[in-house]
Every structure is written in structure tokens, then in C-alpha cells.
Amino acid sequence: MKQPQIAKNLKNARGKLGWSLSKAAKQTGVSKAMLGQIERSESSPTIATLWKIAKGLHLPLSVLIDDSHAPVEYSRTAPERPMHFENSIGFKILFPYDGEFGTEMYHMSLKPNESHISIPHDAGVVEDIVVIKGEIELFLNGVWTKYKMGDAVRFKANVEHGYRNITENIAEFHNIIHYKN
């Protein structure tokens, strides 16, 4: 993972808010020590930690991990391999957060028998999931429901939700996150 980019983006985001490390820690639920280590590229955060930071700063995840800003006409060659954080779902940023549209888009992958539980996003955040390979199960409203290739789901993401692959094959899906502008 691009630690220097995450460090730079976190420091910039916190600076724009005018927040001390103490205030950022209080808002995100991530310790002051851990935030400082991330900003100095001394620690490799998990995706769960990055989501907590993004939520606490009221920012899309891609603002913390990506180095580009997508204009209206935008194309990108996806990396060959998905990014992985420790013990985490694989993903590629297809479109980083775009303030004009209020969206970001990911290509997600789950290894066989892998799962990921996501903390609730801010009120008004909606996710679209489109299964493009294999089968996944989504945890919504306290229930796991199976979706196969070609299925699409839209849900309010301000509640705990999750993704899992209970098959023996890799599963892939697109995840489009819509932020309330």
C-alpha cells in the first residue's frame, strides 16, 4: 500500500480541518499515537482503520488512499493487482472521489471464504454493488443474502454492512459509493 500517500493525504485532510491529532483521535476513534504513526509513515493501517479515519473526518475513503482527482472526463488504467491491506478485502480504485458527483467507485475482490464487515458510513451515504464474477453474500439489516454474477443491489450504508464469499472461487464486484453533497 502507498504509505507515503496515505500519510500525506491524512496530514493534509487534518490540516484543512484545522484539527490537532487529539481532536482527530476523538472524532475518528483512532488513537492519537496511531494517527501520528500513520502520518509519519511508521504504521501500515488496516482498511478498517482507514474507514474509521475517513468516517471521522467526514471524507470518502479514496481521498485518503489515492493521489488523483477525477475530472468529469476521466479514464484510468487499473492496477494489475488489487490493493490489499492487512487481513482485508482486495480493491482497486476505478474512480476516486469526485466532489461534483459525490461518488467514488471500486473494483472489489474476495478470496474464497473471505469476509469483510464495514462500519456504518455517515447518514445519507448509499452504496451500489454489482457482482461481476462469482457469488457474494451481503450482510444488510442483520441478514446475509446471496447475490450472483449480474445481480445489483443499492442500500443505505449508514448501518453496519458486510461482504463475504463462501465459495471456493474468487468473487469480484463493483462498489459505487454515493456521498450526500
Task: Render pLDDT for 9-60 as a digit per residue (tens, 0 to 9).
Answer: 899 888 888 999 999 999 999 999 999 999 998 888 887 888 889 888 888 8
Given this model, what pLDDT does residue 84 score?
Answer: 53
pLDDT-based confidence at residue 70 (cuts at 50, 70, 90): very low
Given this model, what pLDDT does residue 74 score?
Answer: 52
Q: Where are the domains of the chain?
A: 3-65, 90-178
More confident: 74 or 134: 134
> At the fourth CATH level, which superfamily is domain 3-65?
lambda repressor-like DNA-binding domains (1.10.260.40)
Given this model, what pLDDT does residue 67 score?
Answer: 64
CATH number for region 90-178: 2.60.120.10
List Cβ neighbours of 62 (8 Å cut-off, separation of 6 or more): 93, 96, 97, 104, 106
* pTM of the predicted protein model: 0.69
Given this model, what pLDDT does residue 2 score?
Answer: 53
Q: Is the pLDDT of residue 61 over 90?
A: no
Given this model, what pLDDT does residue 155 score?
Answer: 97
CB 90 within 8 A of CB 79: no
Span 82-134, pLDDT tens digits: 555 555 688 888 888 888 889 999 899 999 999 999 889 999 999 999 999 99
Given this model, what pLDDT does residue 86 score?
Answer: 54
Residue that the C-alpha cell 443491489 belongs to:
153
pLDDT-based confidence at residue 68 (cuts at 50, 70, 90): low
Of 30, 72, 51, 168, which Cα lies nearest the Cα of 117?
51
Given this model, what pLDDT does residue 90 score?
Answer: 83
Q: Do domains 3-65 and 90-178 have the same CATH topology?
A: no
CB 128 within 8 A of CB 154: yes
Give, to the nearest 10 degrees, the angle between helix 21-28 and helix 47-57.
110
List Cβ neighbours of 161 (8 Å cut-off, separation of 6 or more): 117, 118, 120, 127, 138, 139, 140, 155
What is the number of other CB atoms lying within 10 angstroms of the CB of residue 69? 12
Count of residues in the chain? 181
